[in-house]
Structure 1
């Protein structure tokens, strides 16, 4: 187990199989991370997500996920 920090959410535990993993496009984000959704994407300089997509905090990165499949369609590394 490790910990990540997400603005507005604080510190949270991350299961060891995902802690330190560098997510990339084409991978599938586990629904464990879906609770760390970013609703104020403009505060991070991000464009409006496409329909049925959402941004999520994962470590120091932000990932854009297709909500219908869980597939990561974009990654913004080292955002904070």
Structure 2
């Protein structure tokens, strides 16, 4: 009898553990499927995020393109304004008052000519024609590194180092 009770008890314990194992197995399968679905959902979310990122990038590129176009238009307008100002430079750089000074003789090998903004004046002009008493002729003090040079009846503000002309005051002298 003892053997029968022991055997039935062992069978009962074995059956209980098998039921627990199959329940645990079922639960782990469920968890595994659930995990796989969660992974799939995360992948889908990542794909959606990537799509959104690409869409935002496209929109940003369109905005950048628009910004570049506006920038180019602004530069074009600035260049047009600059050209108009350069053409009209002599008109608004006319001397308000004329001064009587000695006769002008062009440097040897040169003729008196009209100089313009952005040109370079030869060093031969600079040697004998620098105007040092600019206050006497109603001129402001030249910036550091520049000086006034007489050319015929005009005065040119040029860089000392390279002779680049930054201003022309036409008709200052008689």
- 1:32 and 2:119 matched: no
Task: State whether residues 106 and 112 of structure 2, in contact with CA within 8 Å, keep that contact through their aligned partners in structure 1.
Answer: no
Aligned residues: 72
User: Unpaired runs of 5+ in structure 1?
Assistant: 1-6
- Residue matched to 2:164: 71
Q: Which has the larger radius of gyration?
A: 2
User: Unpaired runs of 5+ in structure 2?
Assistant: 1-100
Larger strand fraction of residues: 1
Structure with larger RCO (C-alpha < 8 A, sep 6+): 1
How far apart, CA to CA, are the structure 2 residues paired with 1:38 and 1:20? Answer: 17
Larger helix fraction of residues: 2
- Identify if the C-alpha distance between structure 1 residues 14 and 69 changes in structure 2 by more than 3 Å, giving closer, same or farther: closer
Q: CA RMSD in A?
A: 1.8
